[in-house]
Structure 1
Amino acid sequence: MNKPLLALACLTVIAVAACQPEPAATTTAAPGAAETAPAPVDVAPAGEDLSSDNAGFDMKGFAGTFSGTLPCADCPGIDTTLVLNPDGTYEISEAYQDSDGVVTRMDGTWTVEADDSQVRLDPNSKSEQDRLYAITSNEEITMLDLEGNPAESGLDYSLDRQPAN
């Protein structure tokens, strides 16, 4: 009577062991083959672009405050102030005119791309989309659409550099 009970216990242990999840990241290699680890990923500090595309662009020199009134579909305009910090972070505040003084703010990181002709704002909030601005001059940037094209409306989407305080 102990043999059937022992056999049942062994089968139960085997069944339970088979139901356990396998450990993550198990690799099997042929005997004598060298294991390959995933390639390391370079993580650049905020504002530091490791690509060679903007090796010549002076982000610290370009950093500053840009402001202006952008067009709005259902209000007179959006008073916008964009602060590009030298460390590659940004802050933007937008106040819709005729909206009882409500100001929205967003922050994140900024980079220069497209042969030093565009600024990309990458928001910290994942619910917001990136924004692109053309570098018109050292004193002016112009908002672009999501594909990097200027607005076809003919309206003024530019922000002007403000003097340092």
Structure 2
Amino acid sequence: MAEIRMKVNGSVASLEVEPWVSLLDALRERLGVTGPKKGCDQGACGACTVLADGVRINSCLALAIQYDGREITTIEGVAHPLKEAFIRHDGFQCGYCTSGQICSAIGMLAEHAAGMPSAVADSGALSEAEVRERMSGNLCRCGAYNGIVDAIMEVSG
């Protein structure tokens, strides 16, 4: 067992974890933070996406011990216009993927603003095709992609 401390949604948390415990399991099972969902548990669906020091990650692929001393933000700690935009544009149906979608979109907007390249980048402005490419790691089984893209496009300006 190793003792780790991390700031989760603004509050410092200390917990003991085995070295093999994923960040997702530590958040959900040890800290009771249930926004990130366990979908595939292999990094393919994005339902577990959280922000680690502002960068989007699949928490099912991250070991909790790697994030000792770091700041983790889940949907519970997000205060961002994307939440309201998802509602306005019907960017969710069952809601299972929504927390990961929103956290991923926040990270994606930061990546775009920082000039990180994209396979379909057109110009300085974020295009619909680029949003779809940059968000391709987050799946929605209900098919609410049009609403998700519309919400992101609205917030991106």
Higher helix proportion (structure 1 or 2): 2
- The TM-score normalised by the length of structure 1 is 0.26
Q: What is the TM-score of this pair, normalised by structure 2? A: 0.27
Does 1 or 2 have the higher relative contact order (CA < 8 Å, sep 6+)? 2
**Bigger Rg, structure 1 or 2:** 1
